[in-house]
Chains A and B, each alone.
Chain A
Amino acid sequence: MGKKVFVNKANITLEGPFTVERAKELHLLLVERLDGMPEQAGGGAIDLCRVVDIDACGCQLLALFLENLKRRGAAPMLTAVPPAVRERIVTLGFGELLALQPEP
C-alpha cells in the first residue's frame, strides 16, 4: 500500500472515539501524519470537533503525538474540543499535557 498523502499538512482533524479500542489504528494514523510533517513545520491546529469520546489511552496517545510534533518544531494546539471531551481530558489530568486552552 502506498504512503498516504495529506492534503492539508498544517491542520489535523481527528474523528470518532479516541479510545483504547482504536489505539492501534489511531497510532498508525498519527505516525503517518507525523511522517508527513515537514521539518520545522511551524504551527498546527488539531481539530477535535469530531472526536466523540476519549479515554486515558487516547489522551496519552494524543499527548505523545503533541510532544513528537513539538520535537519537529511545531507548536500544536487542540481546537474545537467538544465540552464532554474537554471535561474528560481535565478529569483524566491531561489538561496541562495537552495544553488545553481555557473554554472560550
Chain B
Amino acid sequence: MTTPSGETNSVDLNRFNQVFFEECAENLAEMEQILISLGDREPDPEQMNAIFRAAHSIKGGAGIFGFNDMTVVTHVMESLLDRLRNQEIPFAPEMIDLFLEAGDAIAMQLAGHREGKAVDQEVIDGVRARLQQAIDAGGRATAPGLPADHAEGAPPPQEELLPRRCRLAFTPDPEIFARGIRMESIISELAELAEPGEFHSSARLMDVPELAEVDPERCLTRWEFTMLTRASREQILDVFMFVADEEQLQIEEDEPVDRRTPEGEPAPEQGIVPAAGRRAYDSNETAPGAFGRRGNETEASFRVNVTKVDQLVNQVGELLITQAMLSQIAVGLDPILHETLQRGLVQLERNTRDLQGSVMSIRLVPISIVFNRFPRLVRDIAAKLGKQVELKTTGDSTELDRGLIEKIADPLGHLVRNALDHGLETPETRAACGKNPTGTLQLSASQVGGRIVIDVIDDGAGLNRERILAKALECGIPCSEAMSDEEVWQLIFAPGFSTASEVTDLSGRGVGMDVVIKNVQAIGGRVQIASEAGKGARFTISLPLTLAILEGLSVAVGEEKFIIPLNVVIESLQPKPEQLKSVNGREVVQVRGEYLPILKLHRIFNLEAEVIEPQRGILVLVEADGERGAILVDALLDEQQVVVKSIETNYRRVEGSAGATILGDGRVALILDLPELFTMHKKL
C-alpha cells in the first residue's frame, strides 16, 4: 500500500509569504534610503551595519521562506558588506551604485515572486558577478579602481574570533511549520557557521500524544545544536532572526580555545546565557549583525491584514448609521419619561465616536512611505538629465489613509518627474541666470483641517504662460489671452497636453498631467498650481484625510437632505436684505465687506425648494480650494459624522457630489463637493 502522492496545500503559505514580501520591501527601501543619503560618502559604522542588516534580513528570510533565488545576490552583497564592515577591503564610491543596482535586482526578484513579473536573469547574474568582482578586487593589497591611499589607510582587519564550543537549545513556536518557516534553512545556515565537521543537530519530541490527536502542523519538536565555531554570538543570533523569541533560544558558550590566556585568571561566567532571539538583541541597533527594528516600529506592533482593517472600518461605519438612527428616533421621545434611554444614547454616541477615531487611526500611515521613494528617483533622473538637484522633504510623519497613500504615489511621482524634466534647469542655465547651479525640489506634507496638503515645489524656471497658451491652441484646447494665470496653468491638465519640445522617457510623453488630475480627483483630491517665471512652480495636492467617514453638516433643501463637509463650513447666517446684491446679474451676499456668490442648491440639482429667496432661507458660508461662496438652504438640520459611500459604485456619478451617505432615517443624502459646485454654479 502506498500513500497518494497528489499535491495538497494544507497550509496557506501565501499568507506567510506575504509577511516576507513586506519585510523584504521594507528592508530594500531602508537600504536604498541609506545609500541615497550617502551621496559619495563612505557609510559610517552605523549606516554600514544598517545596510548589512537589511541585506542579511532579506537573505535570511528568502532562505527560510524558500525563495532561494533571492539569496544569490544578497549572499554576495552581504559578503562584500561584511568585508567593508570589517575594513578588510576599502570603500569606493562606485560601490554605492553597485549596491543600488543590487537592490534593484533583488526588488525585481521580489516582484517576480510577489506579482509574477518577469525576472531578467542576465541582470541578476551581472550584478552578482560585479559584486563578486568588487570582493575579489578589494581583497588585493592595491585593488584596481579603488584608491590606494584608502587601502593603506584602512585599519588592519579585526582579529578573527577563536573557535569555541557552543550549545544551543531551540524550542520553536508551535506554529513554526504552519508559518511556512523552513527549519532546514535555519539549520543549514547555522551549520555554515561551524568549523568543518563540527556541527551536530539533535531533535527531541517534547510530547508523544496519540497520533490521531496530533495536529500535524503543530511543532512538538525541540532542537539541540552543538558546534565548534568562530562565529560571534550576534552571527548565531542572526540565524534565528525571524523565528526565535527571547525565551525560545538558549545559548551556552564554552571558553574559546586560547592558549595565550594565562592560567589562573578567573574564567568568564559560564552556563546558559539568558537572552537570544530577535527581541533580545534588538536593543543594540548598532551592534554588528544586530537585527534592528525599523523607524518607530515598536515591539508591541504586529501586522494585520488590510482587509480585516477595512472590514472593521465598514462595521464601525454601519454602527455609526445605527447610532444616528437611534438618536433620531429618540428625538421624538419624552425626555422626562425616557431620561435613562436618552443618557444611554448620549453615551453611545460618545463611545461610537471614540471607536471610530481609534479604528480610523489604524488605517493612517505616514506619508514618508511615499516620500522615501523619491530620493532614488531624483538621483537617477537628475543624473540622466545632467542636472544637479537637492531634494528636501518636510512633514514626512504626516499621516494619511493607507488607501490614499497607495493612490497618491503615482501622481506624485509624475509631478516629481515633471519638475525635474521641465521645471529645473541645467546647472549652466541656472548659473547664467544667477541661480545656484543646484536646483531644489521640495516635497512637503501637512494636515490642514480635515485635509492633507502635499506640495511639490521647485525653484526652476516656472511655467511658461505663452508656451502653454500656444500649445493649448495647437491642441485645440479652448483658451484665450484673457485667462488668468491660474486658469492658464490648469490647461496643462488637459488630455494630450505637453509643451515638451521632444518626447523623453521621463515625462514629455503628452500623457501624464491629465492622468495626474484624474487620479487625484478620483480620491477626492484637487491640484492647484502656483508659478512665477524664473523662480519656480508649486503644485499643491489637497486630499481628504480619509475616504471612509467625514464630519458633516446636514442641511435641508425642499424634501432633500444634503451633507456639507464640516471642514469647508465657515459660518451660517440669515442674510438681511441690505446684504444681498447683484453683481453681473448674479446674486451675491456681502459679508464683512466681501461679496460671496450665492449657490442655490435647488437650482443646481433641479429641486422643489421651500425657500427660493435668500433672505428667507439660511446661507451657509463655505470655502474650498481658496474659493468662497454661500450655499442657500431651507434649514440646518444636524452636525454629524457620516459614512461615505460611493455613489458611483451603487448608482452613477452625480455631478456636484463627492459621494453619498445613509442617514439615521434610512434616507440617502448626497455629500456636496464644493469645488465642483462652484464650477456648476458658474455655468448656470
Using a CB–CB cutoff of 8 Å, the interface residues on chain A facing chain B are: 6-8, 12-17, 20-27, 29-31, 33-35, 50, 55-57, 59-61, 63-65, 67-68, 88, 90-94, 96-97
CB distance from A35 to the nearest CB of B (A): 8
- Pairwise interchain contact B211-A31, C-beta atoms closer than 8 A: yes
- Pairwise interchain contact B216-A56, C-beta atoms closer than 8 A: no
- Pairwise interchain contact B203-A23, C-beta atoms closer than 8 A: no
Give chain B residues whose Cβ lies under 8 Å from the Cβ of A17.
5
| Distance between Cα atoms of A65 and B178 in the complex (Å) | 19
Give chain B residues whose Cβ lies under 8 Å from the Cβ of A26.
3, 216
Give chain A residues whose Cβ lies under 8 Å from the Cβ of B180.
20
Looking at A13, A15, A57, which has the most chain B CB atoms within 10 Å of its CB? A57
CB distance from B13 to the nearest CB of A (A): 8
| Chain A CB within 8 A of B208 CB | yes
- Pairwise interchain contact B1-A23, C-beta atoms closer than 8 A: no
| Chain A CB within 8 A of B223 CB | yes
- Pairwise interchain contact A91-B3, C-beta atoms closer than 8 A: no
Binds A, one of B26-34, B184-192, B232-240: B184-192
| Chain A CB within 8 A of B311 CB | no
- Pairwise interchain contact A92-B201, C-beta atoms closer than 8 A: yes
| Distance between Cα atoms of A59 and B210 in the complex (Å) | 16
- Report which of A8, A59, A64 forms a contact with B214, defined as CB distance below 8 A: A64
Give chain B residues whose Cβ lies under 8 Å from the Cβ of A65.
211
Give chain B residues whose Cβ lies under 8 Å from the Cβ of A63.
203, 205, 221
Given contacts A67-B205, A68-B210, A97-B205, contact A16 B5 (CB under 8 A): yes
Task: Look across to chain A and name the residue whose beta carbon is closest to the beta carbon of B205.
Answer: A63
| Chain A CB within 8 A of B616 CB | no
Question: Does more than half of chain A's interface fall in helix, strand or loop, or is it mixed?
Answer: helix
| Chain A CB within 8 A of B2 CB | yes
A interface footprint on B134-155 (CB within 8 Å = 1, 0 otherwise)? 0000000000000000000000
- Pairwise interchain contact B223-A93, C-beta atoms closer than 8 A: yes
- Pairwise interchain contact A23-B208, C-beta atoms closer than 8 A: no
CB distance from A24 to the nearest CB of B (A): 4
CB distance from B181 to the nearest CB of A (A): 9
Give chain A residues whose Cβ lies under 8 Å from the Cβ of B13.
21
Give chain B residues whose Cβ lies under 8 Å from the Cβ of A8.
1
- Pairwise interchain contact A30-B211, C-beta atoms closer than 8 A: yes
Task: Look across to chain B and name the residue whose beta carbon is closest to the beta carbon of A14.
Answer: B3
CB distance from B7 to the nearest CB of A (A): 7
Give chain A residues whose Cβ lies under 8 Å from the Cβ of B202.
93, 96
The interface on chain B, measured as residues whose beta carbon lies within 8 A of the other chain's beta carbons, has a size of 41
Give chain B residues whose Cβ lies under 8 Å from the Cβ of A7.
1
| Distance between Cα atoms of A64 and B177 in the complex (Å) | 15
Contacts A/B (CB < 8 Å), 21 sampled? A14-B2, A15-B2, A15-B5, A16-B3, A16-B4, A16-B6, A17-B5, A20-B10, A20-B11, A21-B11, A23-B10, A23-B11, A23-B217, A24-B10, A25-B3, A63-B203, A68-B211, A88-B184, A92-B187, A93-B202, A97-B204
Give chain A residues whose Cβ lies under 8 Å from the Cβ of B2.
13-15, 50
CB distance from B248 to the nearest CB of A (A): 15
Give chain B residues whose Cβ lies under 8 Å from the Cβ of A6.
1
Give chain A residues whose Cβ lies under 8 Å from the Cβ of B201.
90-93
- Pairwise interchain contact B1-A27, C-beta atoms closer than 8 A: no
10 nearest A-B pairs in the assembled complex, by CB-CB distance: A16-B5, A93-B201, A56-B183, A27-B216, A23-B216, A24-B10, A93-B203, A57-B177, A68-B211, A67-B208
Given contacts A13-B2, A14-B2, A34-B211, contact A55 B7 (CB under 8 A): no
Task: Look across to chain B and name the residue whose beta carbon is closest to the beta carbon of A13.
Answer: B2
| Distance between Cα atoms of A16 and B224 in the complex (Å) | 28
Q: Which of B166-217 contact A (CB under 8 A)?
A: 177-178, 180, 182-184, 187-188, 191, 200-205, 208-212, 214, 216-217
| Chain A CB within 8 A of B220 CB | yes
| Chain A CB within 8 A of B8 CB | yes
| Distance between Cα atoms of A35 and B184 in the complex (Å) | 31
Give chain B residues whose Cβ lies under 8 Å from the Cβ of A59.
203, 221
| Chain A CB within 8 A of B340 CB | no
Task: Look across to chain B and name the residue whose beta carbon is closest to the beta carbon of A68.
Answer: B211
| Chain A CB within 8 A of B470 CB | no
Looking at A31, A88, A93, which has the most chain B CB atoms within 10 Å of its CB? A93
